[in-house]
């Protein structure tokens, strides 16, 4: 998809969706630099993907983010694509029971962390008069999800961040879009179903059916599909796509 010369940064790229995105860009010939907060995960990702580059960083810490992007720019000489993937699930609680610090931590990582990263790459992208920023939200930003208020609020905030950036940066040929993943077919997604089964005295099969009943295509989403979508948005095929929310979720109608 003509991404062969692209310089790509993926946050939280050592596992899960982030690693799938990084691997998909690598397969397309791009140079890929990741960060992650987990040293073991980062070591494993770098060892198993020889062309992958990366270092430890905490996207919720502005100084850590600055240090990371200083190294990226020194190593790659520029940045063509930023994939803001890092995020946490936050607390699972009724609104009146949410701890203040848990709220702050979720907003800090999921929303402020994206701003910190964008702030670092925009001067370089403006200088190049080109760039692509892809922010990862969630299908829950459309449906809402009781007892997950900090997570959903932060991910809805990502939509606003993307919309405003697309308008502000369009004049510099910088495109900004959001991907909204659905029910992910990975250990975390499968674990959510298993936990739901345990908490409600269901078989895993019945719990899975409950999760899928409000998804139009009754489908799990593979991490590689998010990678495919990111590569498409960053390619020449997506050169006139900006300010958009692209849900890769089988059409999540509702969640409970």
Q: Which residues are catalytic?
A: 151
Supply angle C-alpha 116, 120, 122, rounded to 5: 115
Supply angle C-alpha 106, 111, 112, rounded to 5: 95
- Sign of the dihedral through C-alpha 160, 165, 170, 175: negative
Nearest to 86 by CA among 61, 104, 103: 61
Cα separation, 16 vs 23, whole angstroms? 11
Tokens 């310089």 correspond to 7
């Amino acid at each position: 998809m003509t991404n062969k010369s692209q310089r790509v940064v993926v946050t939280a790229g050592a596992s899960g969706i982030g690693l799938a995105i990084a691997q998909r860009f690598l397969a397309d010939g791009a140079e890929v630099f990741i960060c992650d907060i987990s040293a073991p995960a980062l070591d494993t990702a770098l060892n198993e993907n020889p062309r992958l580059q990366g270092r430890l960083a905490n996207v919720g810490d502005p100084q850590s983010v600055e240090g990371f992007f200083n190294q990226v720019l020194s190593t790659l000489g520029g940045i063509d694509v930023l994939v803001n993937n890092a995020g946490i699930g936050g607390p699972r609680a009724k609104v009146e029971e949410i701890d203040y610090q848990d709220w702050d931590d979720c907003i800090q990582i999921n929303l402020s962390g994206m701003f910190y990263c964008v702030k670092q790459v925009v001067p370089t992208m403006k200088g190049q008069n080109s760039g692509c920023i892809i922010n990862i939200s969630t299908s829950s930003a459309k449906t809402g999800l009781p007892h997950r208020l900090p997570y959903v609020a932060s991910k809805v905030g990502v939509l606003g961040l993307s919309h405003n950036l697309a308008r502000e940066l369009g004049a510099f040929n910088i495109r900004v879009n959001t991907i909204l993943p659905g029910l992910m077919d990975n250990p975390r997604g499968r674990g959510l179903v298993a936990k739901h089964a345990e908490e409600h005295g269901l078989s895993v099969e019945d719990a899975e059916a409950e999760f899928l009943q409000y998804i139009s295509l009754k489908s799990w989403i593979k991490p590689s599909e998010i990678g495919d979508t990111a590569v498409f948005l960053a390619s020449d095929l997506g050169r006139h796509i900006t300010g958009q929310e692209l849900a890769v979720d089988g059409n999540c109608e509702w969640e409970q």
